[in-house]
Amino acid sequence: FIHVEGVPAKDFRKEKINLADFSAVIFTSRNSADHFFRICEEMRFDVPVEMKYFCLSETIALYLQKYIQYRKRKIFFGKQTASDLAEVLKKHAAEKFLYPCSDVAAEETQKFLLENGYNFTPAVLFRTVCSDLSDLAEVFYDVIAFFSPSSIQSLYKNFPDFKQNNTRIAAFGATTHKAVLEAGLILDIPAPSPIAPSMTMAIEQYCKQVNK
């Protein structure tokens, strides 16, 4: 439903953010990592070896090997949310954090960082854009999975007359759950949950339940 477009270096410069001012980076997705290292390259900024990286999940942390040498003392991760990182962040509260994000950044992460008094600066490095899905007008699915509120906006932009009927709706994250309900849709498969931390696990468990 959506795709990501990088913010060009010339637009990022207008934000007056000096990359050299930061001692740590918080990554909430692989996209945020991709676009952080992209913008560093475009601006010819050599990322210091001492830079610390805080990732919302181990998957993101391991992905950093694409760009840097993996060092446990420099890379920290939680299970899925910023609050999972709370204990680690407390030990590094003096760091000055850069928070690479999209133009529709996750409110939960920023809220957590603000409420806990961390010195962080959001940097919009990529934008979430609605994809053209008009060629799928006559295709029908048993399940549609949404990972962000903007993907629901894209659904109605592409298909203004969309009716849920027998299609099951899956959604990941609190803000996406809220957007599904505000759109008047029935949320059949919410994720994550204690027993299903990923979307695939949530869908798998739902299928097992309904097929009993």
Residue pLDDT, tens place only, 8-23: 999 999 999 999 999 9
Q: What is the 3-state secondary structure (H, E, C) of 34-52?
A: HHHHHHHHHCCCCCCCCCE
Determine the pLDDT at residue 129: 73
Max Cα distance, the chain (Å): 57
The CA distance from 3 to 195, in Å, is 29
Sketch out the chain's domains with CATH numbers: 2-129 (3.40.50.10090), 132-210 (3.40.50.10090)
Tell me the percentage of the chain whose pLDDT exceeds 70: 91
CB neighbours of 42 closer than 8 A, spacing ≥ 6?
8, 9
Q: Which amino acid, 116? A: N
Q: What is the pLDDT of residue 38?
A: 97
pLDDT 10s digits, 165-181: 889 999 998 889 999 99
CA distances from 107 to 28, 103, 113, 173, 178 (A): 11, 11, 10, 11, 12
CA 142/CA 75 separation, integer angstroms: 39
Q: Summarize pLDDT for 117-169 with one digit per residue, the tens.
A: 999 999 999 987 766 666 666 667 889 999 888 888 888 888 888 888 889 99
Q: What amino acid is encoded at 206 in this protein?
A: Y
pLDDT, tens digit, 9 for 90 and up, residues 72-128: 779 998 876 677 778 888 889 999 999 999 886 666 788 888 999 999 999 999 987
Do residues 56 and 81 touch, judged by C-beta distance below 8 A?
yes
What is the pLDDT at residue 139? Answer: 62
